[in-house]
A and B are shown apart, each in its own frame.
Chain A
């Protein structure tokens, strides 16, 4: 008798959990979508800007411009991945599994 009840409770709880998760995903979906859109552009802007600044300072045009262009592009993609994998936009966040 007790086992049956437990089973029913588990079933009800699991259903509840599933529905809650679905809801939260739907709610944050739109905001996530609009957040990721500008990351790539921002990465390129900052990367090229920094590269040009360093070049003007050291007079090494266009060495750092090229390096920082790719670094900026990579940073944009890296941030996109971080955001979509559910880690948010946390700078300095590498591996979720290592902490636990």
Chain B
């Protein structure tokens, strides 16, 4: 029987090399491309025959658009409209990456920490640059809360700097750990079914228990897939808000 973590192995599909670096096209890259293509097709086909009374397909596209639009409006505040295309692309990329990973025999690229930390670092560096350009040196007052006695500064400033640097780490670890743990757990319980059915007597009859667990976990994983895409983009919105408005 295959090991439950074998699903995460990266396989090279097209070997490539540039400047001494291995930039091969792997199964992870394939599903990233697929995520972009499927989400673009989904959005394009949904609004192709747009009518005043939307059908189910168009309605689902509009719901997603409005959902992210409201999220940006509520969480970024004034001046957030400019960043809507980025947040929407990010949300769709992660959502479809997570959902495509739920198809049997496919690959979940969000279960690789290198993918999520790259996304998180793009956001972190971008947000810091936006704040620095907008507020110049005033940005550094960010690290000292207003209304705090000055004697606490040597303790609070390092803590606030650590808090700021924690953002990309917690953002990426959250998405990666959720997908990794969920998919591993599904495979472990699925393995239990096979082990128990090949046993004899009471154990064989008990195989129905892990089967029920797998059914429940599959539902839970769909929830987690959507929830993590939502959490990732809503936190991006909050970081953008902090960068644009400081405090």
Contact = CB atoms under 8 A, between A and B. Distances in A.
Listed residue (A34, A42, A43, A68) with the most chain B CB atoms within 10 angstroms of its CB: A42
Contacts of B141: 92
Nearest to A37: B174
Listed residue (B162, B169, B227, B231) with the most chain A CB atoms within 10 angstroms of its CB: B162
Contacts, number: 89
A71 B242 CA distance: 23
A90 B159 contact: no
A31 B169 contact: no
Contact of A92 (B160, B162, B174): B160
A30 B165 CA distance: 24
B143 interface: yes
A92 B161 CA distance: 10
B126 interface: no
A85 B174 CA distance: 21
Listed residue (B141, B143, B230, B231) with the most chain A CB atoms within 10 angstroms of its CB: B231
B145 A92 contact: yes
Contact of A75 (B144, B162, B173): B162
B162 A43 contact: yes
Contact of B231 (A31, A42, A68, A90): A31
Contacts of B242: 90-91
A55 interface: no
B158 interface: yes
Interface residues of A, number: 31
A91 B160 contact: yes
Listed residue (A75, A88, A92, A94) with the most chain B CB atoms within 10 angstroms of its CB: A92
Given A88-B238, A90-B247, A91-B142, A45 B169 contact: yes
Nearest to B223: A30
Given A42-B170, A71-B159, A91 B143 contact: yes
B127 to A, nearest CB: 11
Nearest to B75: A88
Given A34-B174, A42-B173, A94-B148, A89 B235 contact: yes
B160 A35 contact: no
B228 A92 contact: no
Contacts of B246: 92
B146 A94 contact: yes
Given A41-B173, A42-B173, A75-B159, A91 B164 contact: yes
6 contacts: A31-B234, A34-B227, A37-B174, A78-B163, A93-B247, A94-B145
Interface of A: 30-31, 34-35, 37-39, 41-43, 45-47, 50, 68, 71-72, 74-76, 78-79, 88-95, 98
Given A76-B166, A92-B141, 18 more contacts: A34-B174, A35-B174, A35-B235, A39-B166, A43-B166, A46-B162, A50-B162, A75-B159, A75-B163, A89-B235, A90-B242, A91-B163, A92-B143, A92-B160, A92-B246, A93-B145, A94-B148, A95-B145
